Structure 1
Amino acid sequence: MATKNLSEYNFDAVPSAQGMKIGLVVAEWNYHITGSMAQGAKDTLMKHGVSEEDIIIKHVPGTFELPLGGQWMAEYTDVDAIIHIGCVIQGQTRHFDYVCDGVTKGTTDLNLKYNKPFIFCVLTDNEEQQSIDRSGGKLGNKGDEAAVAAIKMVDLKKQF
C-alpha cells in the first residue's frame, strides 16, 4: 500500500516540458479511475509547459490493450513519451494476474523496442477503494506521478 501522496513532488526538480509532445493511452475499463488519472497527467504536463495540443489522448478497451495502443501511438505519431493509464482490480479469478503480467511485459518491451519512454501508470489494487484513493483520492493521483516520470525521462534522453 502506498504510504505517500502520489501527487506530492518537488516542482523545481522537474525540468521544463516546453516543446515536449506526450501521448496518453487510457483504458476505458474502470474509466471512473483511469479518466481521473488521465486528467491528473494532463494537468501536470501542462503545469510543466506541455501545450494542450501537444498532448495526444487515445483510448483502448482495457488495460491489457495498452501495449498495442502504445505501439500504434509510437508508430503513427511523433510523441516523445507515452503514458499507459490503466486499472486492474483483483477479483476472484486469476484473470488479474494475466492482465497485470501482460501489460507489464508489453510496456517494458515497448520501452526497449522504440527507445522511447513508455510510462507505466497502471494501478493493480486489491479493491476498488484503493484505486480511488490513488486516482485523485486521499493518496493523490498516480497520473501526476506518471507525468513527472515522462518529463524526466524525455529530459534524460535529451541529455545524452
Structure 2
Amino acid sequence: MTTFTDQKNAITHLDGALYDNANLRIGIAVGRFNGFLVESLVEGALDALLRHGVQGKNITIVRVPGAFELPLTAKRLATSGKFDAIVVLGAIIRGATPHFDIVASESAKGLSKVALDHDIPVINGILTTENIEQTIERAGTKAGNKGFEAAMTAIEMASVLKAI
C-alpha cells in the first residue's frame, strides 16, 4: 500500500499494494461449465497469486456447475469470514437463445450484491463472449489471461480496503 499526504493540499492518497501478501486469504469460485477454457483462467489466477506472495495454504478453490451458481457460492465464501477477497471465474459463451443474456446479467448482479452486502472484494472474472475463439483469446492467448488479471485485482482491492 502506498500512503502519502500532499502537504500543500492536505490530500491523503491510498493505493493498493501488490506485495506483502503472505497472509492474504483468497477464495476462488469456479464455474465448471466450459471447463476446458475455464481451467486456463484458474491457472492464470493461481499464477498471479503465488507470484505475488500469497501462500498456497491461504487459497481455497470451490468448483460449482456454472456461472449461475457462482453468486451463491461467492456469498457463502464471503459470509464464512475466512477470506480477504474472492475471485470468481467462469465462461459464458453466447448461443442461439437468450439464455446467455440472462445468465450473464444475473451472475454479474449477484456478484456485485455479494461484494456490497458483505464488504469484501468480489472480482468478476466470468468471461462473457460471443464465441469460443474470443474465450480462448481471453483465457491465455493474445488477449492475456483474465484469470490472472482478476487475481491481481483481488490482491489490490484487499490491500486498498485494509488501508481505508
Q: What TM-score, normalized by structure 1, do the two folds share?
A: 0.89
Instruction: Show structure 2 runs of 5+ residues with no match.
Output: 1-16
Instruction: Show structure 1 runs of 5+ residues with no match.
Output: 1-12
Is it true that 1:95 corresponds to 2:127 in the alignment?
no
Report the residue type matching 1:113 in the other structure. D
1:151 maps to which of 148, 155, 160: 155
Displacement of 1:32 in angstroms is 1.1
Displacement of 1:75 in angstroms is 2.2
Which residue in the other structure is 2:64 paired with? Answer: 60
Kindly provide the CA deviation profile for residues 67-93 of structure 1, in whole angstroms up to 9, marking residues without a partner as x: 001111122351100011010000010
After TM superposition, the runs of 4+ consecutive aligned structure 1 residues lying more than 4 A away are none
Whole-Å separation in 1 of the counterparts to 2:157 and 2:20: 12
Percent identical pairs in the alignment equals: 39
Whole-Å separation in 2 of the counterparts to 1:42 and 1:147: 8
Matched positions, count: 148
State whether residues 92 and 100 of structure 2, in contact with CA within 8 Å, keep that contact through their aligned partners in structure 1.
yes
Q: What TM-score, normalized by structure 2, do the two folds share?
A: 0.87
Whole-Å separation in 2 of the counterparts to 1:16 and 1:108: 27
State whether residues 15 and 152 of structure 1, in contact with CA within 8 Å, keep that contact through their aligned partners in structure 2.
no
User: If each structure's strand is expressed as a fraction of its own residues, which one has the higher value?
Assistant: 2
State whether residues 15 and 155 of structure 1, in contact with CA within 8 Å, keep that contact through their aligned partners in structure 2.
no
Larger gyration radius, structure 1 or structure 2: 2
1:126 maps to which of 121, 125, 130: 130
2:24 maps to which of 16, 20, 25: 20
Which residue in the other structure is 1:73 paired with? Answer: 77
Which residue in the other structure is 2:42 paired with? Answer: 38
RMSD over equivalenced CA pairs, Å: 1.1
Whole-Å separation in 2 of the counterparts to 1:16 and 1:124: 32
Whole-Å separation in 1 of the counterparts to 2:71 and 2:146: 18
1:115 maps to which of 112, 115, 119: 119
State whether residues 19 and 53 of structure 2, in contact with CA within 8 Å, keep that contact through their aligned partners in structure 1.
no
Kindly provide the CA deviation profile for residues 70-126 of structure 1, in whole angstroms up to 9, marking residues without a partner as x: 111122351100011010000010000000111110011001111000000011000
Which residue in the other structure is 1:86 paired with? Answer: 90
Report the residue type matching 1:87 in the other structure. A
